[in-house]
Structure 1
């Protein structure tokens, strides 16, 4: 099997890192819980326009700096706090030990995503990494998944043996469906509200992989 795995909030705790950084920044600025809530809400799970997030941060924390500098500041804060989820690296090793191919397929800038990979030690545990900022195309565009398959010499792989797994319905699941591969959604306790369910659903990436493996065993 071939696993195309999202990075943020699938293998590493990007939102946890942002929230931890924001809590520290709010405390240092002498602000309160309402400011923290506003900043976290503005981030939209990492999908908001970064300068829009920076504008809320600057306003709430009374920072005396321009928006690009504020963006750099909170991106650095995320890198300082990001961690791989418990057991995530072991899971990657287990998949590869079983003969599967594993590719991280992530949206974001090269510097930020490569920084997270390095901080969390992910790259040594996968066969390849594909970053949207390096390729000029973002999920949900299926071309990013095609690039990932090409990167591991699997451009002609049976799409029924390929899984796109991630936490974002509009990016990860949508990209998988557009590419004609099987899809897994990491719910993190959320309810699915985007139409037909993906092929596998679980609270964590471990849960999704377990469901997907079970589905593969039951397939004719």
Structure 2
């Protein structure tokens, strides 16, 4: 079995890292609870344009009007606060010990995604890392799945033997569906939005739940 996993909010707590950093920045710069709420909302789980988040920080906290510097500042804050979810890397180790292959497939700029991977020790638990900013293609374009499979030496594998797991319906589930592989959605307690199409093959509140359900299903079918 091959497991392709998203990074942010799937293997590592990106949103919690941003919120923790934003809280410290608001406190340091004399902001209010309303400022914090507006900054977190502007981030939109990492999916807003980074320049928009930077402008919100500049407006709310009185930073120097330098968008690239503000982006660098909050990205550094995320890297400082990010953590792998408890137990998830051990689960990846167990999958690999059982003979499966595991790769990270993440959207984002190289230095930021690689920085989070390094900070959380993810690379030791996977066989490959594919970062959109290094490849010139990003989820939901299925070409990024093909790159990951090629990196694993598995381009010809039966797609029923491949899982794409992530928390974003419009990116992770969509790219898995477009690539013809099986899909696992990390809901974090949310309901599936039909705007993203048919429900994923497996849904779980956490990444560990998704992996456990998917693995149990594979064992039942074997």
Q: TM-score, normalised by structure 2?
A: 0.97
Could you list the per-position Cα deviations for residues 11-68 of structure 1 after superposition, in whole angstroms to 9, with x for gaps in the alignment?
Answer: 0000000000000000011111110000000001001100011001110001114001
Aligned pair count?
220
Question: Is residue 2:151 matched to residue 1:155?
Answer: no
Aligned-partner Cα distance in 2 for 1:65–1:90: 43
Corresponding residue of 1:46: 46
Aligned-partner Cα distance in 2 for 1:93–1:199: 23
Offset, 1:160 = 0.3
Corresponding residue of 2:60: 60
Question: Where do 4+ consecutive residues of structure 1 move more than 6 Å?
Answer: none
Corresponding residue of 1:184: 184
Aligned-partner Cα distance in 1 for 2:108–2:58: 22
Corresponding residue of 2:202: 200
Aligned-partner Cα distance in 2 for 1:113–1:186: 19
User: Which residues of 2 match residues 1-220 of structure 1 at below 5 A?
Assistant: 1-194=1-194, 195-219=197-221
Q: TM-score, normalised by structure 1?
A: 0.98
Offset, 1:218 = 3.2
Secondary structure of the 2:139 match is coil
Aligned-partner Cα distance in 2 for 1:170–1:24: 31
Secondary structure of the 2:3 match is strand
Offset, 1:219 = 3.1
Offset, 1:89 = 1.2
Secondary structure of the 2:190 match is coil
Aligned-partner Cα distance in 2 for 1:11–1:126: 11
Aligned-partner Cα distance in 2 for 1:141–1:122: 24
Aligned-partner Cα distance in 2 for 1:115–1:4: 19
Aligned-partner Cα distance in 2 for 1:66–1:126: 37
Aligned-residue Cα RMSD (Å) equals: 0.9
Secondary structure of the 1:12 match is coil
